[in-house]
Amino acid sequence: MFFFFIDTLASNYHWSKDKILDEVCLDEAMEYSKLIKKRQINDYITQLAIVANPHTKNPKALLKSFQEELKKVDNRGIMETERDVDATAKLKQIFNRK
């Protein structure tokens, strides 16, 4: 989970690893990741509507699956994610270095 947050924030916001580690709290990283996921799903829905829907037998099926995923992201609180023991240990090591 630790590397996931760094990769997600760095690739979407173009932040450096040091900036992320120094200025972003874990709960903020989780919220940013949620917002990024939500934006990506909205982009997929838009792309789907433009490209795939006119050419499929059941155009609403894939659209509904994206909408369901979006609902999951909207309804999931920041504390409802699975705990990553390795990531927690790595974060403790980072904070204990200072």
For residue range 40-96, what is the model confidence (pLDDT) as tens digits?
988 888 787 777 667 777 777 777 877 887 788 777 654 455 555 666 666 566 666
pLDDT at position 18 is: 92
Instruction: Quote the pLDDT of residue 62.
Output: 72
CA–CA gap between residue 10 and residue 14 (Å, rounded)? 5
Neighbours of 2 (CB within 10 A): 17
Which two three-digit tokens encode residue 95? Answer: 């904070």
Q: How high is the pLDDT of residue 49?
A: 72
Task: Please report, for the chain, the start and end positions of each structural domain, with discontinuous segments joined by +.
Answer: 2-97
- pLDDT-based confidence at residue 22 (cuts at 50, 70, 90): very high
- Residue 91 C-alpha from the chain's centroid: 19
Query: Measured in whole angstroms, how far is the alpha carbon of residue 43 from the centre of its chain?
Result: 13
The token pair at 93 is 């090591």
Mean pLDDT of 23-44: 89
- Residue 19 is predicted with a pLDDT of 92
